[in-house]
Amino acid sequence: MRVHIVNAHLTYPNWSEGTLNHAMAEKAKAHLGARGHDVTETVVEESFDPEVEVRRHLDADLVVLQTSRVIHRVVRKNSSPRTAVMVVSNVSSGRR
Protein backbone atom coordinates (compact mmCIF):
# COMPACT_ATOMS: atom_id res chain seq x y z
CA MET A 1 0.00 0.00 0.00
CA ARG A 2 1.21 3.53 -0.75
CA VAL A 3 0.92 5.77 2.30
CA HIS A 4 1.65 9.49 2.45
CA ILE A 5 2.12 11.06 5.90
CA VAL A 6 1.73 14.83 6.29
CA ASN A 7 3.09 16.29 9.53
CA ALA A 8 1.12 19.54 9.52
CA HIS A 9 2.26 20.85 12.89
CA LEU A 10 3.43 24.45 13.08
CA THR A 11 5.82 25.38 15.88
CA TYR A 12 4.73 27.96 18.42
CA PRO A 13 7.84 28.80 20.49
CA ASN A 14 7.48 28.32 24.25
CA TRP A 15 4.05 26.81 23.78
CA SER A 16 4.06 23.95 21.28
CA GLU A 17 7.32 22.72 19.78
CA GLY A 18 5.81 19.84 17.79
CA THR A 19 7.70 17.00 19.47
CA LEU A 20 4.58 14.86 19.98
CA ASN A 21 3.46 15.29 16.36
CA HIS A 22 6.96 14.48 15.16
CA ALA A 23 7.15 11.37 17.37
CA MET A 24 3.72 10.15 16.21
CA ALA A 25 4.53 10.70 12.52
CA GLU A 26 7.89 8.93 12.91
CA LYS A 27 6.23 6.01 14.72
CA ALA A 28 3.65 5.66 11.93
CA LYS A 29 6.37 5.84 9.26
CA ALA A 30 8.49 3.19 11.00
CA HIS A 31 5.49 0.92 11.69
CA LEU A 32 4.15 1.07 8.14
CA GLY A 33 7.59 0.85 6.51
CA ALA A 34 8.49 -2.23 8.57
CA ARG A 35 5.38 -3.93 7.20
CA GLY A 36 6.41 -3.34 3.61
CA HIS A 37 4.30 -0.30 2.80
CA ASP A 38 5.70 2.41 0.52
CA VAL A 39 5.72 5.48 2.79
CA THR A 40 6.36 9.09 1.79
CA GLU A 41 6.36 12.00 4.22
CA THR A 42 6.00 15.76 4.15
CA VAL A 43 6.79 18.02 7.09
CA VAL A 44 4.91 21.23 6.33
CA GLU A 45 7.29 23.46 8.32
CA GLU A 46 10.26 22.24 6.29
CA SER A 47 8.63 23.55 3.10
CA PHE A 48 7.21 21.55 0.25
CA ASP A 49 6.59 21.66 -3.48
CA PRO A 50 2.84 21.90 -4.17
CA GLU A 51 3.13 19.93 -7.43
CA VAL A 52 4.93 17.09 -5.64
CA GLU A 53 2.29 17.14 -2.89
CA VAL A 54 -0.57 16.87 -5.37
CA ARG A 55 1.14 13.89 -7.02
CA ARG A 56 1.77 12.21 -3.65
CA HIS A 57 -1.87 12.65 -2.63
CA LEU A 58 -3.17 11.28 -5.91
CA ASP A 59 -0.77 8.32 -5.87
CA ALA A 60 -1.43 7.36 -2.23
CA ASP A 61 -3.84 4.68 -1.11
CA LEU A 62 -3.89 6.30 2.34
CA VAL A 63 -3.05 9.87 3.40
CA VAL A 64 -2.34 10.38 7.11
CA LEU A 65 -2.62 13.98 8.30
CA GLN A 66 -0.80 14.34 11.64
CA THR A 67 -1.70 17.61 13.31
CA SER A 68 -2.22 19.23 16.68
CA ARG A 69 -5.16 21.18 15.33
CA VAL A 70 -8.63 19.73 15.53
CA ILE A 71 -10.09 19.31 12.08
CA HIS A 72 -13.83 18.79 12.06
CA ARG A 73 -14.19 18.27 8.33
CA VAL A 74 -11.82 16.94 5.69
CA VAL A 75 -12.53 18.10 2.16
CA ARG A 76 -11.23 15.71 -0.47
CA LYS A 77 -11.95 17.97 -3.43
CA ASN A 78 -8.95 16.93 -5.52
CA SER A 79 -8.14 13.52 -4.03
CA SER A 80 -8.30 10.35 -6.01
CA PRO A 81 -11.61 8.58 -5.28
CA ARG A 82 -9.67 5.52 -4.11
CA THR A 83 -7.55 7.44 -1.58
CA ALA A 84 -8.48 7.09 2.08
CA VAL A 85 -7.78 10.06 4.34
CA MET A 86 -7.05 9.63 8.05
CA VAL A 87 -6.71 12.65 10.33
CA VAL A 88 -4.70 12.09 13.51
CA SER A 89 -4.91 14.85 16.08
CA ASN A 90 -3.28 14.88 19.50
CA VAL A 91 -5.67 17.54 20.84
CA SER A 92 -9.19 16.85 22.03
CA SER A 93 -11.92 18.97 20.46
CA GLY A 94 -13.96 18.94 23.65
CA ARG A 95 -16.86 17.43 21.71
CA ARG A 96 -18.37 14.16 22.80
Is there a domain that residue 61 lies in? yes
pLDDT, tens digit, 9 for 90 and up, residues 47-70: 889 999 999 989 998 888 887 655
Q: Residue 6: exposed, middle, or buried by beta-carbon count in 10 A (0-12, 13-18, 19+)?
A: buried
Interior CA angle at 30 toward 81 and 82, to 5°?
5
Share of the chain above pLDDT 70, in %: 70
Domains: count for the chain: 1
Is there a domain that residue 95 lies in? no
Stated pTM of the model: 0.72
Is there a domain that residue 94 lies in? no
Is there a domain that residue 96 lies in? no
Q: Residue 26 sits in which domain range?
A: 2-89
Is there a domain that residue 41 lies in? yes
Is there a domain that residue 80 lies in? yes
**CATH number, position 76:** 3.40.50.360
Query: What is the pLDDT at residue 53?
Result: 92
pLDDT, tens digit, 9 for 90 and up, residues 22-52: 888 899 999 999 999 999 999 988 888 999 9
pLDDT at 96 over 90: no
